[in-house]
Chain A
Amino acid sequence: MTAMQPAVGASTSSDMTINLGPQHPSTHGVLRLMVALDGEYVKSCRPVVGYLHRGLERMMAARPYRQSVPFTDRLDYCASLNSNLAISQAIERIGGMAVPERAQYLRVMLCEMNRIASHLIFFGTYAADIGATTAFLYAFRERERLLDLLEAYTGARLTCNWIRPGGVASDMPEGYAQAVCAFLDGFLKELDAYDTLLTGNPIFRVRTEGVGIISPEKAIAYGASGPVLRGSGVNIDLRRTEPYDAYPRTQFDVPLRTEGDCLARYLVRVEEMRQSARIIRQCLREMPEGEHWGKQPKVFRPAAGEAYSRTESPRGELSIYLVSDGTANPVRVRVRGPSFVHLSMLPELVRGVKVADMIAILGSLDTVLGEVDR
């Protein structure tokens, strides 16, 4: 060994590159982070994505329009109905389909239920990332009840595929409204308990307060959306700014925090769950009678053109761009997912922080790899 080479493990070889993932509990999927460490501090971080790439955009473009809906279940698998809504809206726009009023309420209700389910995953896994396993178990217990409700409606727990171009595939089963209300009553109480358990916990606050601060300018520059953007004090919620379906007729508050740190994003999501519960109640109360699915054309061949639909998924802006050339299949389907954008902020956010904080920051962005890789 020459004098130039430091011994293995010697403190002089300060830089070390480690791989976090692709199989690591904190990356929530198959994400690989190549992290250069200087002791406990992160010098640089490079996310390596693509392990879950399935070519969904191309697969959707190779099929008739209406057959692309089930593929969107596999985009953001924590909130499949929200993805269904995005593609359905794009198809409705390109084909000029109308959605019956009852279906609009049903859609909003389903989407908000899925939003709660998705935020509960965030809540649970974020707590687990930070080291609080109990909250994880509680969150998944509540989510389980919610998935049972989705199952009762759609027949599937995760890949629901129940929002379709032109409406919703079926109406509510009997006694569903009561079941949902009963769940919400219990859930809101649980949520208060979670607040005591986690939000008020000083250890949790120390781990998240002031960590991973995103300034509003940076959030806008990267194209962040959803709770990440609203945690930085930018008040943009597509359900408000570009309302669709029954959202213009529902009252809800858009939670906003100005701190821009992990705690702010966490608090925005927790508050969003309460607002979602409020929206679901309103939908159940105000839902008119009527059709749940308008009449469908047998063959669907929209005129040549393009359509873009923007929706507010639990993670942020999920948009779908469709190009039609007048045939039965789209020429191009493009998915603009929020998780991909948020993940691209990670290298800048984690520079110079400790490894444990990097996990906290990654968790607070709440990325879903199914939608990053597509």
Chain B
Amino acid sequence: MRLIVSFAQGFVSILKGMAITFLNLVGRRKITLQYPYQRPNVSPRWRGIFYLPYNDEAGRINCVGCTLCAQACPTGVITMTKMGAGKHASVNAFTMDLGRCMFCNLCIEACPFDAIHMSTRFELASVDRGVSLLTIDKLAQGGADAVERTKRTIEAALEQEAAAKAAAAAAKAQAAAGAQAAEGADA
């Protein structure tokens, strides 16, 4: 008797389960994506591959080479060399080794100039290790061109600054010489 009851119960539970699976079969949109042909729309906050935004107005990338991001990184992903000085500074090398990166967002939060961002690109797989080493040409928004333009902007600004300084120094020297001459005339 017990056997029959448990058999009946099992049978009913199978029917119930089948009803649910059937409802799911007919009453639902497919939720899977055929990946290489279809790509997911990731959220705008997605933490994907990095880029250094290019500032069109200023004609340069925002980064000033302050190394704050490199200091904030727990795994030492970021290395850079600074170019320029003072107000007119940027980087001429900025390398990220994505093989070590955790996409933790700490570098982005550390940057005071909003100069490093994460994009929604997420396809990192490659057959070559070198691909995960992102140089500045790959990182800068606008590629090597943007880097070149940044370099020119910085150099021009530095030259201008130097010229202004030289002019100021010359003016000062002239003024000093004039004053001396005046002193001489007095004496």
Contacts and interface: CB of A to CB of B under 8 A. Distances in A.
B47 A70 contact: no
A193 B21 CA distance: 10
Contacts of A9: none
Contacts of B72: 67
Nearest to B120: A155
A134 B22 CA distance: 11
A53 interface: no
Nearest to B24: A138
Given A141-B31, A196-B16, A202-B10, A151 B43 contact: yes
Given A63-B74, A70-B102, A155 B43 contact: yes
A321 interface: no
B13 A156 contact: no
A153 B45 contact: yes
Given A70-B104, A161-B104, A155 B17 contact: no
Contact of A71 (B17, B31, B44, B74): B74
B43 A152 contact: yes
B109 interface: yes
Given A67-B72, A141-B31, A155 B118 contact: yes
B180 interface: no
Contacts of B44: 173
B17 A197 contact: yes
Nearest to A159: B102
Contact of A134 (B17, B45, B73, B104): B17
A193 B20 contact: yes
B10 A154 contact: no
Interface string A274-299: 00000000000000000000000000
Nearest to B42: A151
B38 interface: no
B124 to A, nearest CB: 13
Contacts of B46: 151, 155-156
A144 B31 CA distance: 9
Contacts of A138: 24
A159 to B, nearest CB: 7
Nearest to A74: B102
Contact of B45 (A66, A173, A197, A203): A173
Interface in A122-142: 134, 138, 141
A201 B43 CA distance: 38
A202 B43 contact: no
A73 interface: yes
B126 interface: no
A161 B105 contact: yes
A169 interface: yes
A201 B13 CA distance: 6
A151 B106 CA distance: 17
Given A63-B74, A154-B45, A201-B17, A70 B10 contact: no
B16 A70 contact: no
Nearest to A71: B74
A202 B45 contact: no
Contacts of B102: 70, 73, 159, 161
Interface of B: 6, 9-10, 13, 16-17, 20-21, 24, 31, 42-47, 72-74, 102-106, 109, 118
Q: Which 5 A-B pairs have the closest CB atoms?
A: A70-B104, A155-B45, A67-B74, A155-B47, A152-B43
Given A66-B106, A196-B16, 9 more contacts: A67-B74, A141-B31, A151-B45, A151-B46, A173-B43, A197-B21, A201-B13, A201-B17, A202-B13
10 contacts: A63-B74, A70-B106, A73-B104, A134-B17, A134-B21, A138-B24, A151-B43, A155-B43, A161-B105, A196-B20
